[in-house]
Amino acid sequence: MNAPDPVTARHSLDTTVFRARRDELARRLRAAGGGVAIVPTAPEVHRNRDTHYLYRHDSYFYYLTGFREPEAVLLLVVDGDSAQSVLFCRTKHEEREIWDGFRHGPDGAREAFGFDEAHAIDVLADKLPGYFGNRGAVWHSVGYDTQWDARVFEAINAVRAASRSGQVAPVDIRDIRAVLDEMRLIKDAHEVATMRRAGGISGGAHARAMRATRPGRFEYEIEAELLHEFRLHGAQAPAYTSIVAGGANACVLHYVENDCVLRDGDLLLIDAGCELDGYASDITRTFPVNGRFSGPQRDVYELVLAAQDAALAEARPGQAYDRTHEAAVRVLAQGMLDLKLLSGSLDEVLENGSYRRFYMHRTGHWLGMDVHDAGEYKQAGNWRPLMPGMVITIEPGCYIRPADDVPEAFWNIGIRIEDDVLITADGHDILTLGTPRTVAEVEAVMQN
């Protein structure tokens, strides 16, 4: 019996999921008049000289194919009631497979992933005009990549040059992202299951980081604990550069140096999540380096926690997306007044925006294959309503830098609490629920 190739053994997928997505895209394109959609994967990127960054596929391409190899392009040809999926990919190559690893090749990819046709990537330029001829529209990511823009126009011009043979060039160029973004915004059961597992892995990593933290260790040591837990449980990579920010660093929203020593009495803010099988998780937790919140730290932490609870209460179908943010801001602003960080009335603070001094970002974003995932937040100028299948983050925070008008006890307290939330038919489901969250839970984990 032949042993399974390493790619299939590790990344076996139900390819019917991807075929169903291609069918749905074809249905939507057909309703818009049909045409040819072209979706390339991401290129390999050099890190220095002859080494590359760890390869990561393009999210749109993977969403439709499940195919992880570089140098690949999907064509979806929609004519009337028919639709044809065509993959262009690298050929089998014994020597390159010795150096770089397994390749499916066109025949293997067609069989394994259910494409109607598959060809070598080397013949794409020659064959592309043939797919464009006598089709009214070309769908691709207009303006995203100038090289691909040029390749699309080159193929269109080749069709125009053959007009004497009866070929008619496409006259309509449309952005495929507008269609795919709407599809990606609603997660299917396969996506939800993957994101739930990613959230569980990341939650375990945060708990591991809490147990490993103590005064005198460095931020990068705690980052290493996160990365260890991600890979230990099968995640391929961090979903984004981990933020491991002790003390004053927690008041820098995108701090990623992670090279300072952790001091007794400070807080540690960690914003980190793994990527599993193409899907991101995104969790933030803040906890005391020495395992016990001080009085002021606890006060601010409980405020941010209350803001998150208020936002979660608005996370349900039919609610406008912005309602979670408005709910969190209202709680945070009142808390800032109670802690003497601001003065005036709640209405005044909300109207003049003075709360933004301590809370300057929004309360969440779409989550999926990308950390800041695809999808518009407004429709016709209005915040779109939440729908079952959407996944959002809810991540209120409070960041207090030293200032003459700020009580010294609150200086350098930076706190954010973030979870991944699936909108369901009757409310919401927190995909990262197992991550220690309350003061009691955090302190208990750290003491153990």
Which residues have a catalytic role annotated? 50, 254, 271, 282, 361, 365, 372, 395, 399, 416, 418
* Cα(245)–Cα(286) distance, integer angstroms: 9
Q: How far is CA 165 from CA 136, 137, 161, 195, in A?
A: 17, 20, 9, 51
145 SS3 class: coil
Please enumerate in sequence order all residues whose Cβ is within 8 A of that of 226, keeping only pairs 6 or more positions apart, or say none: 205, 206, 208, 209, 238, 242, 244, 270, 272
Q: Which residues of 103-117 are buried (b: 16+ CB within 10 A; e: fewer)?
A: bbbbebbbebbbbee
Q: Chain-centre distance of CA 361, in angstroms? A: 18
* Cα(206)–Cα(244) distance, integer angstroms: 11
Closest alpha carbon to 284 in 443, 420, 410: 420
**Strands (E) located in 353-404:** 378-379, 382-383, 391-394, 397-400
Question: For residue 227, what is the enclosing H or E element?
Answer: helix 219-232
Amino acid letter, 205: A
* Cα(436)–Cα(211) distance, integer angstroms: 11
* Cα(259)–Cα(105) distance, integer angstroms: 44
Q: Chain-centre distance of CA 321, in angstroms? A: 18
Concatenated DSSP letters of 59-97: HHHHHHH----SS-EEEEEEETTEEEEEEEEPPP-HHHH
Contact 329, 350 (CB under 8 A): yes
Closest alpha carbon to 314 in 298, 300, 328: 328
How do strand 46-48 and strand 51-52 relate by DSSP bridges? antiparallel
- Tally Cβ neighbours within 10 Å of residue 289: 22
Main-chain phi, psi angles of 195, to 5 degrees:
-70, -35
Q: How far is CA 421 from CA 46, 360, 393, in A?
A: 35, 22, 6
